[in-house]
Amino acid sequence: MTTVSLLDRAISVLRLNDAGMFTKPGPHQYPHQWNWDSALIALGLSHFDLPRAHLEIRSLLSGQWQDGMIPSVVYHSMPSDYFPPSQFWQIENSPSAPPVPTTGITQPPLLATVVRRIDSRHPNPDFVREVYPSLLRWHRWMHTARDIDDSALACIIHPWESGTDDSPRWLRLFEAIQPEALPEFRRGDTRYVAAAERPNRSEYERFIYLIDVFRKLNYAPTALLAHSPFLAQDVLFNAILFRADEDLRALGVSLGEPTGEIDGWLDRVQGNFNTRFWDEGAGLYYDYDVRSGNPIPVNTAATFLPLFAGLPSREQAQRLVEGHLLNPVEYAPSGQVRHWVTTTARTEPTWEPRRYWRGPVWVIMNWFIAEGLRRYGYDGLAETIRQDTLGLIETSGFREYYDARDGSGCGSDDFSWSAALALEMSHDSK
C-alpha cells in the first residue's frame, strides 16, 4: 500500500464516522462526541476540509458548562447503545449544566493546541476570535475549580478524565475505594470489543461508583474537590494543560488580548511541576495521589508527556529518553516486542500487552512522544517512532490500539484519531 492510499483511507474513516455535526471516535464503540478525540479529529479534518474541522470544534464547544468546563462527552441527543447514556449522569441537577446532554467530567485539554496548529497553517483570525473566550474559560476553570493547593496544577476526579482509563497509574487509588453500593448498570463496552481488551470488572465498577458519588453532589466543584474518593494530580493532564496554556497565550497575543492571567498560570505551573512530579531517584515523572498525599510510583508512558510541554530540563530529558524510553527492558522494542511505545513499562507487573491502557501501543501517545522528542533535539528517534506508527497503521488498519509484540490491532476498528493522526504524522515529514 502506498502512502497516498493510506491517506485516502484515513479520510474515508473520518468520513465514515462523520455524524454531521461531530465525528464519532469509533463507529460502534464510541457513538457520541468525545473531547480530546474531537480535538485530534479536527486536526485531521483540517488537512482536507477546513470548514468541517471548524464545525467539529464548534460542536464540542456547544457542550461547555456555564462554569467553563468542557465535558468529556457531548451526547448531542443521538440515540445509541453506549453505556453510560446521557441520563445516567443526571447533570440537570447542576446549575452549571449546558442545554445539551453531556457527561459531568472533563478530559485532557488538547483543544487550544489544536486550534493554534490549525491556525498556523490556515490563518483565520475570525475563527480564533470566536473560540478564544470559550478556551480561556475552560483553562480558567481547570486552574481554579480543580486547583486544590493553590499550585495552579489541575486535579482530576475520575480516571476517565485522564483519558487513560485503566492505566496502572490508578490501581493503588482504586484499592482505597470500596464502593458501598453500586447503582444498577450493565456495561456496553464489551459488546463490540473483546472483554480481554477492555478494563477489568473491578475497575469498571469503580468508574461507575465515582459517577454515582458525583451526581449525588450535583457536580458542585467545591464538593467534588472535598469529597471525590479519587483525586489525583496527573502528569499527562497537567503537561497537556501547560502546553495548551502556551498555545492559548499565543492565540491571545495574535488577537491583541491581554495575557497576564495566562502568564500567571504558566509561571506557577512551571514553578510547581517538577517539584510535584519529578522523582530524582527514578528519573521519572510520577502522578500524585492527593487523598493519601503520596506520589504514585508507577512507570508508564505518561512520564514522557512533559517533553511535549517542554517542562523537563535538558538533563531530565536525557534521563527520560536514554534511561527509560531507549531501555530495552522498559519501552524500546526488543525480543518479542517489535513496536514503539508500550503505554506501560514492561518492567511493571501490571503490564498487559492487549488490555486498553495497560500496555498496548496507542497512536496518540506515539504522536505526543515524537513531538516531545523533536522539541529536545532527538530527531532521529522521533522519526523512528513516527515511521513505526505509520507502519503499524498501514499493516493493521486504523485500530484503537495495537499489540506491541506483533503489531496486531485491538479495541475499536475504524478509529477516528488513528486516522486523524495518520494525516498529521504524514504531514510531519513534509
Residue nearest to ligand DGY as judged by C-beta position: 160
Residue 29 or 134 having the CB closest to ligand DGY = 29
Q: Is 322 helix (H, G, I), strand (E, B) or coil?
A: helix
Residue 3 or 87 having the CB closest to ligand DGY = 87
DSSP strand pairing (294-296 vs 287-289): antiparallel
Nearest CA-CA partner of 133 in 85, 184, 70: 70
Residue 160 or 230 having the CB closest to ligand DGY = 160
> Per the structure block, which three cell numbers stand in for 224?
467534588
Nearest CA-CA partner of 156 in 88, 207, 83, 96: 207
Quick one: 133 exposed, middle or buried, by C-beta within 10 A (0-12, 13-18, 19+)? exposed
Note the Cα 276 to chain centre separation in Å. Answer: 20
Residue 119 or 189 having the CB closest to ligand DGY = 189
400 flagged as catalytic: yes
165 makes contact with ligand DGY (CB under 6 A): yes
Residue 49 identity (one-letter amino acid): D
CA atoms within 13 A on the CB side of 327: 17
388 makes contact with ligand DGY (CB under 6 A): no
**Which of 37, 165, 245, 330 is an active site residue?**
165
189 makes contact with ligand DGY (CB under 6 A): yes
- Residue for cell digits 460542536? 59
The minimum distance between CB 295 and ligand DGY, in angstroms, equals 25
Among 141, 160, 273, 415, binds ligand DGY (CB under 6 A): 160
18 flagged as catalytic: no
CA distance 268 to 251: 20
162 makes contact with ligand DGY (CB under 6 A): no
72 makes contact with ligand DGY (CB under 6 A): yes
Number of residues that bind ligand DGY (CB under 6 A): 5
The minimum distance between CB 339 and ligand DGY, in angstroms, equals 23
The minimum distance between CB 84 and ligand DGY, in angstroms, equals 8
Q: How many residues does the chain have?
A: 430
**Which of 56, 166, 203, 400 is an active site residue?**
400
Nearest CA-CA partner of 351 in 146, 167, 90, 170: 167
203 makes contact with ligand DGY (CB under 6 A): no
Residue 74 or 152 having the CB closest to ligand DGY = 74
- Positions annotated as catalytic residues are 165, 400
Residues in touch with ligand DGY (CB under 6 A) = 72-73, 160, 165, 189
